[in-house]
Amino acid sequence: MTTVRRLGDDPTRPITIAVLAMGGQGGGVLVDWIVDLAEHNGFLAQATSVAGVAQRTGATVYYLELFAEAHVQALRGPPIFALMPVPGEVDIVIASELMEAGRALQRGLVTPDRTTLICSSHRDYATLEKVAPGNGIADAAAVLEAGQTHALRFLHEDMKALAQKSGSVISATLFGALAGCGELPFSESAFEATIQRAGIGVEASLRALAAGVRAMREPVRVELAPDPMATSPRELPTRAASPAVEPLRQRIANTFPAHAHAMLGAGLQRVLEYQDIAYGHEYLDHMTRLQIRADACGSAVQAHLATLEAARWVAVAMAYDDIIRVADLKTRASRTARVRAEIGAGPDEVVGTVEYFHPRLEEILALLPPRLANGLARNHWLTGLLSAALARGQRVRPHTVRGHLLLHGLASLRHWRRHSLRHHQERAHLSAWLSQVLAIMPSDYALALELIRCRRVIKGYSDTHARGNSKFDRLSRAATMLQGRADAATALAALRAAALAEPGLTLLTQRWQELGLPEVTEISVETS
């Protein structure tokens, strides 16, 4: 049985606590609670903070030192508190998210001879994880393993989920975890009294506090956060929820192999939600054409692979991101409910958000019919004025009447989408891609399969989409150049991996040269 240490008995040193939290998680509230707890229980306390910016949405390092008033006399004067945590000198580190724990480990704040590491095991993805062309999600297993290795005690649980179940916020469950670890010289009732003195959301915070205490006193489960890139679609239902969709469901069930039904159902759901029933029929038309060719060119297992991959990436290609889509997502009631839940807003509280729009001239022209858009693009005086106006960006507030009407009006243009320049471009791009896949499949099924997977490099909109398109065009040319080579499929897969590894072209160009492919000087990546 592990003996839990009791901090605060050494008259020569304070209790040192570092709290790492992101914006909106209540890190400041948690620190205020700890200071109040100490000061009402015979301790002097000092708290400092260094706010961060970028990458971690305002990640902040808070640092506290607590010193018993009973020890002040032994010092013959008040203690001198430090302003920042020092590696090797921190007793307790509290991290509001798993990668914040990783950041503490990387900074050397966690040491095996002294530090208890308490963290929430959930993930809130950083900017660098989100903007990566491929799966940029950091390795959760590595952080969990490092926590076990480098901390004196490593206590973790999904504090965010516990807080939501309690109707509170994560700062309250982390406060409970601090109480539950049993290392501070304060009783659980002292922690509860601190929350009661605060007087805000007391009942919910006390429930969350109790949940955090229980989580720390139960055996710690070393578990991995699920990889969101590895989720499986739900099985195809036996009947569609809408009569209008039922013929499409039956078409999947009757036309395609059973192994592909779940993925086709997910793809169909995506394009229906994006546009309409006719768009769903168009999706299945593409898939039927590909399935017929796959059946003729490969084994049953190979045919399933091509259909499974195409079911995903054809749907993604058809449900491309544009301003209409962005406005639609930002005006949904589900998004408003999620924002309110994340900040713990009550039913009577007014919550406002500010949405930042910075479309390029290309995105505006893309909403127009092709002939009109191309005509305006040739008018350099007008495009200059529009570019200057767009350069400032827009700050839209959906909780206001003006902001909501603006976004709702943009979202309603989905009925116009098929007439836009962007839709004509995306449809031509999709058609060229699938035609190339079908042309390659009879001679090299594996290469055609890798070309289907190459659609993954295209994501987002605006500059991000332009960069992805540039990389995809290069991969498409590579597929043509590689035909006839024994290593064609593996070579294209290697090129795709290089394209997904970084936003730029350095690795892709390097791998291109290693494979001995002719230079493609006309391909370039647009930058913002």
Q: Is 57 exposed, middle or buried (0-12, 13-18, 19+ CB in 10 A)?
A: middle
41 inside domain: yes
Name the token pair of 127: 């900017």
Q: Is 70 exposed, middle or buried (0-12, 13-18, 19+ CB in 10 A)?
A: exposed
3-state helix, strand, coil in the chain (%, to 5): 55, 10, 35
Q: Which residues contact 241 (CB under 8 A, 6 or more apart)?
A: none
- CA 10, 14, 15, 16 dihedral sign is negative
Q: Is 527 exposed, middle or buried (0-12, 13-18, 19+ CB in 10 A)?
A: exposed
Length of the chain measured in residues: 528
Q: How far apart are CA 165 and CA 161, in angstroms?
A: 6
Contact 173, 166 (CB under 8 A): yes
Prediction pTM value: 0.71
Cα atoms in the 13 Å half-sphere on the side-chain side of 250: 6
> CATH code at 78?
3.40.920.10
165 inside domain: yes
300 inside domain: no
370 inside domain: no
pLDDT tens, position by position, for the chain (528 residues)? 456 788 988 888 899 999 998 877 788 899 999 999 999 999 999 999 887 754 445 678 999 999 999 888 777 778 889 999 999 999 999 999 988 999 899 999 999 999 999 999 888 877 777 766 767 777 788 888 899 999 999 999 999 989 988 988 899 999 999 999 999 999 999 999 999 998 888 999 999 999 999 999 875 554 555 555 556 788 888 898 889 999 999 999 999 988 899 999 999 999 999 999 999 999 999 999 999 888 888 666 676 888 999 999 999 999 998 889 988 988 888 888 887 776 667 777 888 888 887 777 888 888 889 999 888 888 888 888 877 777 777 788 888 888 888 888 989 998 999 999 999 999 999 999 999 999 999 999 999 999 999 999 998 877 788 889 999 999 999 999 999 999 999 999 999 999 998 888 889 999 999 988 887 654 443 333
Its domain, for residue 107, covers 15-229
- Number of compact structural domains in the chain: 1
505 inside domain: no
Contact 434, 307 (CB under 8 A): no
245 inside domain: no
Backbone angles phi, psi at 364, to 5 degrees: -70, -45
248 inside domain: no
Q: How far apart are CA 79 and CA 72, in angstroms?
A: 7
68 inside domain: yes
DSSP SS3 for 51: strand
Say which residue the tokens 């891609």 belong to: 433
Return the number of other C-beta atoms located less than 10 Å from residue 421's C-beta: 19
Contact 10, 70 (CB under 8 A): no
